[in-house]
Amino acid sequence: MLRRLFNSSDNTLTLDPLVAVDRMLRATRANERGDEVLRALKALLPGDVRGYVVRGDDSNGYRFDAQTGYSAQLLELTPGHGPWRSPGPRLVANNIAEMFTPNEQALRAQYADLGLRDANSTMVVPVAGRFASYGTLVLHRHGPPAFGEDELKQVARWGSVLGETQAKESELGR
């Protein structure tokens, strides 16, 4: 069932989704589970795909929890305004308007130094289980092709599985 859930119509996948899910489930910390999902998505999606998980919400605040393709310095920043504030799932029409324009100059410069401004295409999916929200998964593609609706659906499935796992681990106090 998981194989059918994660496989796309493209049979040229280089990563077995079951192996990726197993690695995610074996991870003991929330950020490690996010790292596993991000690595799986980077391997599954074509092009130069980079991304991160933002944990939190407007009332409790946000923090970068996991990343792939960017510098680990991203995890040290406090997220300001960005596409994670209205998670979707959705394709982001204008990453600059959502991530750079509303933030202070210093944070915009830090994001730009890390390469986030160079993204050509952005998608956002919630990381949420049935009963709890964990945060948001944000993927950027640097270069062509732009993300499409089929990729958004595939990533949304990964966000749901990660969200269920994070919520269950949180309930267990891990």
For residue 12, CA distances in Å to 15, 16, 44, 92, 156 come to 9, 11, 9, 27, 20
Report the SS3 class of residue 13.
coil
User: What is the per-residue pLDDT across 105-162, written as a single tens digit (0 to 9) for each?
Assistant: 999 999 999 999 999 999 999 999 888 889 999 999 999 999 999 999 999 999 999 9
User: What is the per-residue pLDDT across 72-119, written as a single tens digit (0 to 9) for each?
Assistant: 999 999 999 999 998 789 999 999 999 999 999 999 999 999 999 999
Phi-psi region of 90 (alpha: psi -120 to 50; beta: other; left: phi over 0): beta
How many Å separate Cα 102 from the centre of its chain?
Answer: 21
Backbone angles phi, psi at 71, to 5 degrees: -70, 150
For residue 57, CA distances in Å to 12, 81, 134 come to 37, 11, 8
Query: From CA 131, how far away is CA 90, in angstroms rounded?
Result: 21
